[in-house]
Structures are given as C-alpha cells and as structure tokens.
Chain A
C-alpha cells in the first residue's frame, strides 16, 4: 500500500528535495506540500495523509505548534526535521512531546556523508511511520491505551511465563535501550519513578550529540529522580538516571564495588551512537546477573547482540509490546532472537519498574 505523505517546510527548495526523494520510492507518494504550520493544518484536513514530514522553523506557525494542533485535530504520524543545535534539540523534544513520532537532522549530511544513504534513511523512516497507521498518538505520554501484557509462548522461556516479579535485591541496574519513539516512552517510565528510586538507571537512547543533554535536562525537570547526561567517571547510584551521551559510546566497568561509566568516542563504523549493544555488552560483563534490561520502541535491531550476552550472564530482559511501540523493530528483534523474558505495554513496564523494591 502506498504511504501518502504531506511535506511541510517553508523552503520550496527543501520541499522539492524531500518530495523527489520520497516520490522516487514506489510505495511512497507525496500528496501535498505546505509552506507553514497553518497551511499544514489545512492540508491535513483536506488530504488526510498517512505521514507528515515537518520542519520546525516556519513563518506564520512553527512546526511544534503545528504538531500540537494536528495531534489534537487529526492525529497523524509526524517526522520532524530538526537542527542539531541545543535550541533545535529543545524544539524537537517539544515536538515529540506534542505528539511527533520521530525526527531526523535537517542537515542531511549529518545523517550520512552519502546523500543517497541519508535519503534512503528518510524513506525508510517515512515508510515505518506509514505502517503505524492513522491512529498516531494523542499528545502526552500518559494517554497510551492500557493493554494487558502480551506473552508470546514462542519467545519466552517457560519460567518467565510464571511472571516472577523482579526484585531490587537482584537488580543492580535498570538498563534501557531505545530508538524511535523512545523519548516519549522514557518520559512515561521516568515520570513514575520515585525520587529515592533504589536502583540506578542508565538509558541508551539513539540521539544525535546535542540532543541527549537537552533531553536529560528536560527529564530532570519532569521527574522526581535526578536525571543527567552521563559523563566519564560517573558512578552508578540509586535515584540517579544517567542518559548515554549522543555521538559517543557509553560502557560500564566494575571498579571494586562501584560501577563506573566510561565514555568513548565512537568509531566510523558505528551505526548507532550511542549504541545499545555496546552498553549492553559491557553491562553484561560488569554486572553479571544484576541487570534488568528493557528494550523499548525503535527501528532496527540494536540491542539484540547485547541482549544475547546479558541472557548468557543471567540478566533479565523486558521488551515493549507492539501496540504501544511507535516502531516495533528493536523489541521484535529481541523477541525473535528468543531473549525476551516479558513483553509488556509501556504503562505496564512503567508500573513494574516503579514497583521494584
């Protein structure tokens, strides 16, 4: 089925490039364009597109406001184009908060030095969002419909089916890995954790460099726990949530009793920076059996390798279910590989995590 796309950008030049790239795909068709947020609202009503690509800085009505209005009037999956600046990060997070599902750097050379690859990436994301269907997600993370946890026999080991609640005693670290749709999912999780949460939390969210700091700042304001971007030398501590910095790789080392964070520069061959696998692998060795890994919504299969080793070191793995995931890629990869102990909706995961004693 063809994904019908509305392209919103105040630059005709940019609209054309995006339109060209999308229309080159057989299963994607740009059905309309808009030069500002107000026009986007009109177009959405007229055209009922499957997916919207949205610029942030536009005259008359900016992208963030437009997202908010669209999500209120006619929820549609939206892909934001953002600037990789601190300001751009804040605006993008605002947009995600308002209901946008995904974002990409507007400077495509920041996605990949190869233009074609960057545009492929764009098409891929649009296609994914298109599959998401028209329901989108109403603004605010709390409105995700509650569904009972889905337990897949094929994927789960027999003992997991008995739903043994996790114990804080055995869990030394909650380690979360996610990509597309992650910021909102994480907000759902973190906002329910008490300030004196007994377990350290480390989050690996696929995000470009400047974004993670803004994301951490935002979470810190919204949540009772302390949330900060991880820095080299940080020690894991209860009540503190660390977010792996974008553009780098975060690994954990056991040093005596403490678990210490080390931040490494990423190498050219790294697809994801930060990579969930890299952190999962190091955590598996640093805290054998002590990790509760949670894989949330996201495209691709980052985390699968790491999950394999975590399982081998007797740690547990929860994954987000298909219904509440923006993109059921990473969770599915874990399930398909047979590593998932439990498959739950995001609200359920939030409740379970908050209940860790």
Chain B
C-alpha cells in the first residue's frame, strides 16, 4: 500500500495516535511503579486499542499487527491473569519503539515494515495467562490432546526464555528464537491452546471479567484535571488516569456540572475557576481552537495587568451556552498560528506608536480610542499567545522512559518526580527545550545519581530521586532538574578544566565554587573518567547552554557534595514577544532583554575603581566589572569612561554579573523581534531590531554574545 501524506485521514490519525503514543510512554513507565493499577492497565489497553483501530482504518497492517498483540497482552494484564514484571515491560517498551518506528516510516511516506515474527510470537506468549501452567494444572483434569504435556510447562519455559529473547528481538531478529515457543506452536495450535485455557479458566473467569468490563474505569477515580481536558476537547484521548485520584463521586459530578456551564469557551472554561482575572481578561477573543488543543492551556500568568473594567469596553464574553453538538476543537496548522502571532506583533508595534502619539495630540476622544485599542491589543496578544501554549508535559512526558532506560542500563535505581507538568509555554519553546532537557536528565542519572551500593554506604536510600519541575516565575518559566546524587566537587572541576586547558591557573584560582560548577558548560569539558554510552562525551553541556541562551534563557548550576546538584533554567514564556528594557546610549535606543537585567542603579564615580585595567564598581562589598556600552556600540570614538552621569544596568551573563553603563533609561517595553537584514547579520552582539513607540528603530542586544565578543577578545 502506498502512503499518501496529503491524505487528511492519515494526518488525522498521525496526530491522534502520536498523542496517544506520547501518553503510552509515560503510562508504561508509571506502570512499572504501580504494576497492579487497574486504571493504568485499562488506559494502556485503550491506548493500543485506539491506535489499532485507526491503523486498521487506513490499512496499516503492520501497525495493526503489533498493536493488536500489545492490546491482547494488556487485556490479560488488566484481568489479573498475568503480572507486570521487568521483562514484560522490556518487551512492551519495545512495542512502543516499534510503533514509533512505524510512525517515522509513515511520516516519510513509507509503508512500515512488519515487526519481526519472533517478536510477535513473544507478544503472543505474553498474551496468554501466566498462571495457566501453575495453578491451572492441579484442580482441572488435563484435557486430552497432543499439547497436554507441553501445556503445563510451556508458560514457565516461556518466561524463562524471555531475558534471552530480549537480546534477539532487539537486534536483527536473525538469532533463532528459543526452541520452546516454536515447539509449542508445532504441537498445539493457537485455537487448541485457547480452548484449553478457556476450559481451565472458563467458569471462574467469567464473573470477574464482566465486572472488570463494566466497572473497570469507575468515575470516582477520575482526576479532576483529566476531566477538565475531556470536557474541553471532547475527550479525544485515552486517559492518563494516573494522577490525583482522591476525588469523590460528588465532587466529580459537581466538577462536571460546573465545567458544563463553561463549555462554550473551550480554552478558558476551567481557568475561570482557578484564575478569574486572567480568564476574564482573555475572554473577549474567540476561544483558541488549534492543533494540539487536546492540551488546552490553562491561562498563563497574566502578562499585562488584568483590567477589571474589561467588559465596559463592549467586549462581551462569548455566550456560555454554545450549541452543544458543535465540535469543540479544530486543528489548525501551526504555520497559521505563527502568522497570527506575527500580525499581532505588528499590531503591538502600531499600538505602541499610537500610544506615544497620543500624548502629542491632547484630544480626549483620541485618548479614549487609544486606550481601548491598548486594551484590546493586550487581550488579543494574550489570546493569540494562548493558542500556541502547550503544557510542558509534552516534553516531560518522555522523561520517565528516558530515566528508566538509562537507570536500567547502568544498574542504578532512580525515581523521577515530575512537578508542574501542566505549566504552559509557547509551543516553539516546548519543542526547543526538549533536547537540552533530555541531555540534562540523562546527565543527572548518569553523573548525578550514584550506584545503589555507594548510596547505601553514604547513608542514603538506594533509590535516587530526580525532580524535574516547571513553574511560572513572573514573565518566565523556571525549570529545574534536581538530583539527590553525589553532587559536584568544585575543586576537581577546576583541576579538570585546567587539565583540559579550558582555563588557565590564574582564572582557576579566582573562580569560586559557583563559577566552577558553570565550567561544565564550557565546550570540551567532561568530568567522567570513562565514556559511557549514556552521556559523557564532552559535547552536550555547552550545546545545552547555547541552546538555552538562544531562547533568551539562562541556565545555572548549584551543587553540594554529597547531597546533590540542581540545574535551574529560566526561559521566557514566548519567543515572539520580548519584554525589554529600553535604554539610550549616545542618542540611540537599544533594547536589553529584560530576562537578563537584574538591577539598575545610578553610576557613582566615587564608587568605581580600576582593577587589572578594568573598571569595576563596588556594590554590596563586591567588585563588579562595568562596561560603557557607548564604547562598544557607538562608533564615534569619544570615550566616556570618565564621564560622570549615567546609569548602571546590571545584567546576568551566566553566573557572572556585569554592569553596563548607559546614558538614559527609557523604560520597559514589550517588543516584537524583527530579524536584522542580511547586511547586519554578521554584526556581533545584536539579537535583532524592533520599532519603538515613537517610530524609531531600536537594536536589541544579545548580552551573552555581546560580552563574549567584546570582553573575550
């Protein structure tokens, strides 16, 4: 069958099944922790079931084949006829890998290859009750047939063969499958086996099965968040019901009722309850309905001030009752959202320009109109931004699997805790953060967490903990990766850096611990003695750092020996609109990303000194280097080092704080970043340009590259 990527049905399938696959990854790892959780087993079962259904519809037989068997396995599991164990998990996780491979093939327009026969056979083995050989044989007279003898032993044999089989299925599949299953297949047909099992299990099994079928997913155990999403989105996905399960029937009913009233505003209903002002503020815009809206964002913390008088401006909220049968979501190409965002950006610029002009006009009517425009624009901006918001869960979701695999690989015991998965941020950011985070988490497992024995000897629990958290912090999202591992030794890092020639001795002597830790982000630095296949190739941390910097973010490490390491990443909520501090240098306007600005004070010359030929300012008993941006950026040649008047803008550059001396502070402004033209592309230290409220062009400074360009040389 040829695959037509233009086919809307196929695209539909890929989107939905892709989401389910993501969830499955998470649920499976969760399952290893709670192997008997019925809801979880049901959810995984449904996941495979749904993918199979869709795949069947578009004749992806290879995919149907493998999902079907996985579904069978989980059917047995959810009926308690087999227990989840590590080997089974390995096989099931391989299923997930295979399905993912199939997806990649499909996306490239190729018909996916069938999974190796041996692998499918193993799944079939797992899809039979494990207990059959054990207790089944005793009370029930063995039915006649050629398979009797084998039947008693087979399942156990299968189980024993599993670890061995693991290796074979992983590879080319060329190695022969252990002989037992094959022999079984020859001597006893599937149907016979099936009927033997039914004879053994038949009567006893029935009652239980019915109950499970009916009551398998009782409403009482539904987490509220899940309900929110379902209400908003029409419940597109198989549930990941593993979260908070302490909700009573009544509460749930009530929740549903409440949600129902709000249903007309899919993107915002639930936020009303949690975050009144924000929702109110965003209400005028039509509800965002977009691709990936299954992950409908909660309102992010208000970027602009909530305006109480919102509705007086004729901005009636969408009526709460919508024709109930209308579809609650539509999928939109992200390209269109990007376009909208762009246009909103332009609008913001015009708005800024008008606001500035207003003061010149002195007309009450104009004043009013501009105020209105101001409000609407802010709202529109928030609303447009929300359409692009996705919970960070999208990225976090893959980590349980990552951690599990590495930990198993390295024989470590690690628990991963995820905090703040529902934190929303811009889709582009979510995607851009994925790789750096994977790297950091891998590092935490590989370098951070010690071997269980070592931990025990140090008086810690054998099982290490990594906490991956996300939260809103003002205009920013703060991500943290914290482990309770061995921590870092500042001295050995410095020595290592010396050894590798990353720093010289003078620098090494001057660095404090915190600065030393940040040496791990320097290219070519790796502390691990032996290179493992997990991490430790000495590339990566610097890539992580530059990636975060690209996102206008910052990364910082703190560590304490023996207790652990934490890495904090701060990134802005969105990439499209940048809050900046506008400054005037030599009558030109520059914008400094607000994310890097930590404080501002007036320059007092009596407080500055020259150390090592560099001007420093004393602040809170420590010396901070200051630089006159005019010398760097304004090519007039008048050096102003001695000039008195000015302000110092303290910016963070990595862990280092440095001061920039500027002539005037203009104020805070949200700007839309426009790329520089081709001729200016090579100019160092500039992130782009924007148009200010008074219609002038301001260059946006890129602090890290500015510093490395001018101080580095």
Contact = CB atoms under 8 A, between A and B. Distances in A.
A10 B324 contact: no
Interface in A37-77: 38-39, 42-43, 46-47, 56-62, 64-65, 68
B56 A38 contact: no
Contacts of B198: 86, 213
A112 interface: no
A305 interface: no
B145 to A, nearest CB: 14
B53 A36 contact: no
Interface in B36-79: 42-43, 45-46, 49-50, 52-54, 56-57, 59, 64, 72, 75, 79
Given A17-B57, A109-B59, A62 B214 contact: yes
Interface stretch (B232-240, B306-314, B455-463, B571-579): B232-240
A15 B325 CA distance: 13
A107 B213 contact: no
Nearest to B239: A59
Interface in B197-236: 198, 202, 206, 209-210, 213-217, 219, 222, 226-227, 230-231, 233-236
B210 A94 contact: yes
A10 B235 contact: yes
B12 interface: yes
Contacts of B64: 107
A338 to B, nearest CB: 43
Contacts of B46: 10, 57-59
A60 B239 contact: yes
Contacts of B236: 10-12, 35
Contacts of B50: 10-11, 13-14
With most chain B CB atoms within 10 A of its CB, the pick from A57, A58, A65 is A57
Nearest to B202: A217
Contacts of B206: 90, 217, 221
Contacts of B209: 87, 90
B16 interface: yes
Contact of A47 (B59, B222, B325): B325
Contacts of A353: none
Nearest to A16: B12
Nearest to A18: B57
Interface string A1-38: 00000000011111111000000000000011111101
The dominant DSSP class at the B interface is helix
B327 interface: yes
A167 interface: no
A90 B205 CA distance: 11
A108 interface: yes
B13 interface: yes
Given A12-B16, A90-B213, A57 B45 contact: yes
B238 A59 contact: yes
A46 B17 CA distance: 30
A347 interface: no
A14 B239 contact: no
B216 A62 contact: yes
A64 B213 contact: yes
A329 B190 CA distance: 37
Contact of B213 (A10, A11, A87, A217): A87
Nearest to B194: A86
A180 interface: no
Contacts of B17: 13
B56 A33 contact: no
Contacts of B325: 31-33, 43, 46-47
Given A35-B234, A64-B213, A94-B213, A11 B53 contact: yes
Contacts of A68: 214
A49 to B, nearest CB: 9
A62 B213 contact: yes
Nearest to A118: B57
B589 interface: no
Contacts of B235: 10, 34-36, 39, 59-60
A10 B294 CA distance: 12
B241 interface: yes
Contact of A14 (B57, B227, B237): B57
B260 interface: yes
A248 interface: no
Contact of A65 (B54, B214, B327): B214
Most A-side CB within 10 Å, residue of B45, B49, B53: B53
Contacts of A64: 213-214
B54 A61 contact: no
B213 A36 contact: no
Contact of B75 (A31, A38, A39, A85): A85
A356 to B, nearest CB: 30
B13 A13 contact: yes
Interface in B1-32: 9, 12-13, 16-17
A102 interface: no
Would you list the 4 A-B pairs with minimal beta carbon distance, nearest first? A35-B235, A59-B239, A32-B325, A12-B236
Given A11-B236, A12-B234, 18 more contacts: A10-B46, A10-B235, A13-B53, A14-B53, A15-B234, A35-B230, A36-B235, A47-B324, A56-B213, A58-B46, A59-B46, A62-B214, A62-B216, A62-B217, A90-B210, A94-B213, A108-B57, A217-B206
23 contacts: A10-B46, A12-B234, A14-B53, A15-B234, A34-B234, A35-B230, A35-B233, A35-B234, A36-B230, A39-B234, A42-B256, A43-B324, A46-B324, A46-B325, A59-B238, A61-B217, A64-B214, A87-B213, A91-B213, A94-B214, A107-B52, A108-B56, A109-B59
Interface of B: 9, 12-13, 16-17, 42-43, 45-46, 49-50, 52-54, 56-57, 59, 64, 72, 75, 79, 194, 198, 202, 206, 209-210, 213-217, 219, 222, 226-227, 230-231, 233-239, 241, 256, 260, 324-325, 327
